[in-house]
């Protein structure tokens, strides 16, 4: 830009100044859009995630874009490269779970394996699994101890009952949700779209198993402990103000791996598999063992059984 009296090709000094200002605004706007400034997101991302549709109505491209936004957010928030996928359910598969309560010793290995696998906030202190300690001969949950902390387990005269989302076939939480942010997938898992939930917590009131938990604050996870293998409906990093719950480790189970709780249990008390496969372990349990479900009389049809042998 020549500086001969501020004139260039006959344009006035005023025009030049105006052009400079417009250029600066343009650059500034481009910078604002591209820089992560909106809660750690770029303006483009913030807009796109605000207007993001619910999972079941997004096209394949929109879901891809959402997955990439989640990965970018995780990089901005935790400084970690995660892989967020959208593995679809396998056809002909409906998951079922059983726990052998005569094998459970109350170690809580399952609880902490789940916390690690599913990127549960250490600060928001959500745990999907809760192990109850009950008196021998007593099955009244009001007499249970959730906070047992003895030197060794099992304690003499007590037995243990792990409880987590029962993935009901007639889920009261799905009925309760005013925005349909939670629903049952074809493989039987009741999932939550964390980007659609408005945080009204009606589903938490409706759940008879205390299986749904809320992010009262932003989930804090140490960067080195983040599980980078995530699923949109599962263990991807969640925002504050939404409900979450056990999803049978959808990022693992849809690929044929065991859920983290089952893999962690040292006693092999946990059985998991495809209810529609007559040769599966879970079918053998249901057909050969004395199984029961919690709060059967409520008619929720849980896909989570207990048995002892």
Partner 1 sequence: MAVIRFIFDGVREMFRGSREYWMWLAALSVVIIYGAWRYSGQITEGLVVTGMSDQVSWGFYISNFAFLVGIAAAAVLLVIPAYIFDRKDIKDVVLVGEGMAVAAVTMAILFVIADLGRPDRLWHLMPVIGRFHWPVSLLAWDVLVLSVYLLLNLAIPFYVLFMHYRGREPNIRLYFPFVVVAMFWAISIHTVTAFLFSANPARPFWHTSLLGPRFIASAFASGPALIIITLQTVRNVTSYHVSQTVIDTLALIMTTALQISLFFVGAELFTDFYNEGSHAASIHYLFFGLSGFASLRMWIWVALVLNVIAVVILMIHPLRQKTLLLNIACVLAFVGIWIEKGMGLVIPGFIPTPLGEIFEYAPTGTELSVAAGIWAFGILVFTLLAKAVIAIKLGKISYTLKLSYSY
Partner 2 sequence: MTSRILLSMVCTACLISVPAGAQETEAPDQQPTLRFEGYPGARDFEVVPRKDKLFFYPCTQCHRFLEPNPEVRELAAPHDIKLEHGRGRIWCLSCHSLENRDNLRTLLDEPVDFDDAYLVCGGCHANRQQDWYFGVHGKRLANWQGERKLYNCTECHDAHSPAIKPRNPKPPPPVRAGLERVPGAEYEQHPVWETLEEQEDQ
Length of the chain: 309
Interaction with partner 1 in 51-110: which residues (CB under 8 A)?
54, 57
Tell me if 305 sits within 8 A of 97, measured CB to CB. yes
* Closest by Cα among 166, 142, 183, 164 to 300: 166
The site partner of 202 among partner 2, partner 1, none (C-beta below 5 to 8 Å per kind) is partner 1
Interaction with partner 2 in 91-120: which residues (CB under 8 A)?
98, 100, 103, 105-109, 111-112
Residue 43: phi and psi, rounded to 5, are -60, -40
* Closest by Cα among 222, 204, 221, 205 to 213: 204
Q: Indicate which single residue of 61, 142, 224, 287 sits in contact with partner 1 (rule: CB under 8 A).
A: 142
Determine, following the binding rule CB under 8 A, whether residue 38 of this chain makes contact with partner 2. no
Interaction with partner 2 in 146-165: which residues (CB under 8 A)?
146-154
The single residue listed with the structure tokens 């479900």 is: 293
Q: State the Cα–Cα distance between residues 64 and 59, nearest whole angstrom.
A: 9
Beta-bridge mates of residue 100 = 307
Q: Indicate which single residue of 6, 36, 154, 208 sits in contact with partner 1 (rule: CB under 8 A).
A: 208
Please give the DSSP secondary-structure letter assigned to residue 170. S
Q: Is the peptide bond before 181 cis (omega within 30 degrees of 0)?
A: no
The single residue listed with the structure tokens 């939550």 is: 192
Number of residues that bind partner 1 (CB under 8 A): 50
Q: Rounded to whole angstroms, what are the CA distances from 74 to 40, 81, 226, 252?
A: 10, 7, 10, 20
Q: Indicate which single residue of 144, 230, 251, 274 sits in contact with partner 1 (rule: CB under 8 A).
A: 144
Kindly calculate the radius of gyration of the chain based on its CA atoms and give it in whole angstroms: 25
Residue among 180 and 309 whose Cβ is closer to partner 1: 180
Q: Which stretch binds partner 1 (CB under 8 A): 25-33, 71-79, 142-150, 270-278?
A: 142-150
Q: Which stretch binds partner 1 (CB under 8 A): 12-20, 99-107, 150-158, 214-222?
A: 214-222
Given the rule CB under 8 A, which residues bind partner 2?
98, 100, 103, 105-109, 111-112, 123-125, 127, 130, 135-138, 142-154, 216-217, 253, 256-258, 262-263, 265-268, 271-274, 279-281, 284-285, 288-289, 309
Given the rule CB under 8 A, which residues bind partner 1?
50, 54, 57, 124, 126, 130, 132, 140-144, 146, 163, 172, 175-181, 196-202, 204-210, 213-218, 239-243, 295, 298-299
């Amino acid at each position: 830009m020549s500086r001969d009296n501020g004139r260039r090709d006959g344009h006035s000094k005023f025009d030049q100044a105006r052009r400079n200002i417009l250029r600066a605004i343009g650059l500034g706007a481009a910078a604002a859009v591209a820089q992560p400034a909106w809660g750690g997101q770029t303006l483009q991302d913030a807009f796109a995630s605000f207007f993001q549709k619910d999972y079941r109505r997004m096209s394949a491209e929109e879901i891809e874009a959402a997955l990439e936004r989640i990965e970018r957010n995780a990089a901005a928030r935790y400084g970690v490269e995660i892989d967020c996928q959208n593995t679809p359910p396998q056809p002909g598969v409906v998951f079922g779970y059983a726990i052998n309560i005569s094998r459970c010793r109350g170690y809580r290995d399952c609880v902490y394996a789940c916390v690690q696998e599913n990127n549960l906030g250490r600060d928001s202190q959500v745990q999907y699994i809760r192990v109850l300690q009950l008196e021998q001969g007593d099955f009244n949950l009001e007499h249970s101890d959730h906070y047992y902390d003895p030197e060794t387990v099992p304690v003499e005269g007590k037995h243990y009952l792990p409880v987590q989302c029962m993935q009901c076939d007639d889920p009261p939480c799905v009925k309760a949700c005013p925005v349909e942010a939670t629903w049952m997938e074809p493989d039987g898992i009741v999932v939550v779209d964390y980007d659609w939930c408005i945080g009204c917590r009606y589903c938490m009131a409706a759940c008879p198993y205390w299986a749904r938990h809320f992010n009262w604050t932003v989930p804090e996870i140490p960067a080195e402990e983040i599980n980078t293998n995530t699923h949109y409906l599962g263990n991807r990093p969640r925002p504050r103000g939404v409900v979450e719950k056990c999803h049978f480790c959808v990022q693992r189970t849809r690929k044929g791996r065991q859920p983290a709780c089952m893999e962690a249990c040292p006693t092999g008390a946990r059985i998991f598999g495809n209810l529609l496969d007559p040769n599966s372990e879970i079918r053998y349990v249901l057909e050969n063992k004395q199984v029961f479900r919690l709060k059967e009389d409520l008619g929720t049809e849980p896909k989570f059984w207990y048995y002892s042998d």
